[in-house]
């Protein structure tokens, strides 16, 4: 499962829009054991990108789009994305990202009315590599009691994932980061940025820019 924050960051869409639709009941998350935590499937990130990337869709059309997107998803994609991701499920997530037809079946367009449609094939192809990188990255990190207070670190190191992600988000070049930490790869750095954005420090309220566009790339 993905947290709301993770789904928003991976879909690269404005957080305020998603939260508003949750508050009005248009969008229904999956509740975890902790009722304060809202969960979504990995496949929901594709749906978020399809629906929230532009402002043209009214509330009624967004509702219709979510209903139709759910109907398009192949049972295999649903089965892989609905539940907790173990190593095998992560590989299934990678497969679905590499082969967009496994997410939305054979449909490349989602018709909302006689003339308006969502290009689901483009959504899957655009978002696939991003979800792939995140899913793969999760297999390369760990949280261990006694290591940085349980902070997520890259496996077999004491290097904080969020530290690297913040460096990248602040504009540090990937090449410079790898020069300082030669055991990292480009994919590690890109993953760390996504992880940093989707796992803000506990107790720190999101800034205005975070709320406005949680997953957006900063202007540099």
**pTM reported for the whole predicted model:** 0.74
Report the share of the chain in percent with pLDDT over 70: 70
Place of tokens 């629906």: 51
Query: What is the residue-wise DSSP string for the chain?
Result: -EEHHHHHHHHT--HHHHHHHHHTTSS--EE-SSTT-EEE-HHHHHHHHHHHSSS---HHHHHHHHHHHHHHS-HHHHHHHHS---HHHHHHHHHHHHSTHHHHTT---EESSSS-EE-HHHHHHHHHHHHHHHHHHHTTEE--TTSGGG--EETTS--BHHHHHHHHHTT--HHHHHHHSTT--HHHHHHHHHHHHHSPPTT-PPPHHHHH-TTPPPP-
How big is the chain, counted in residues? 220
Whether the pLDDT of residue 73 is over 90: the answer is: no
Q: Per-residue confidence at 179, pLDDT binned at 50, 70, 90? A: very high
pLDDT at 202: 64
**What phi and psi values does residue 94 have, to the nearest 5 degrees?**
-60, -45
Domains of the chain: 1-136 (no CATH), 140-214 (1.10.10.10)
User: Which residue, 64, 96, 57, is CA-closest to 79?
Assistant: 96
Provide mean pLDDT across the span 47-66: 86
What is the pLDDT at residue 201? Answer: 78
- pLDDT higher for 130 or 70? 130
The CB density around residue 171, as the number of other CB atoms within 10 Å, is 8
- Please determine, for residue 186, whether its predicted confidence score (pLDDT) is greater than 80: yes
Q: Which of 17-21, 68-72, 216-220 has the lowest mean pLDDT?
A: 216-220
Say how far apart CA 135 and CA 132 lie, in whole Å: 5
Per the listing, tokens 């649903």 go with: 78
| pLDDT of 219 higher than 50 | no
pLDDT tens, residue by residue, 91-114: 344 444 444 334 444 456 677 777
């Amino acid at each position: 499962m993905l947290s709301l924050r993770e789904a928003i960051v991976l879909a690269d869409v404005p957080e305020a829009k998603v939260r508003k639709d949750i508050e009005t009941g248009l969008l229904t998350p999956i509740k975890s054991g902790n009722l304060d935590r809202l969960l979504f499937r990995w496949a929901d990130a594709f749906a978020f990108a399809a629906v929230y990337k532009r402002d043209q869709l009214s509330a009624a059309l967004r509702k219709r789009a979510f209903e139709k997107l759910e109907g398009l998803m192949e049972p295999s994609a649903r089965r892989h994305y609905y539940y907790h991701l173990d190593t095998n499920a992560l590989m299934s997530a990678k497969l679905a990202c590499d082969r967009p037809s496994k997410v939305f079946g054979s449909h490349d367009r989602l018709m909302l009315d006689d003339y308006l449609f969502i290009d689901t094939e483009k959504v899957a192809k655009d978002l696939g590599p991003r979800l792939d990188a995140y899913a793969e990255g999760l297999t390369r990190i760990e949280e261990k009691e006694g290591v940085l207070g349980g902070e997520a670190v890259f496996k077999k190191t004491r290097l904080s994932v969020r530290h690297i992600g913040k460096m990248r988000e602040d504009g540090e070049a990937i090449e410079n980061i790898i020069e300082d930490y030669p055991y990292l790869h480009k994919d590690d750095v890109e993953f760390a940025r996504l992880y940093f954005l989707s796992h803000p420090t506990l107790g720190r309220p999101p800034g205005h820019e975070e709320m406005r566009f949680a997953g957006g790339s900063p202007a540099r």
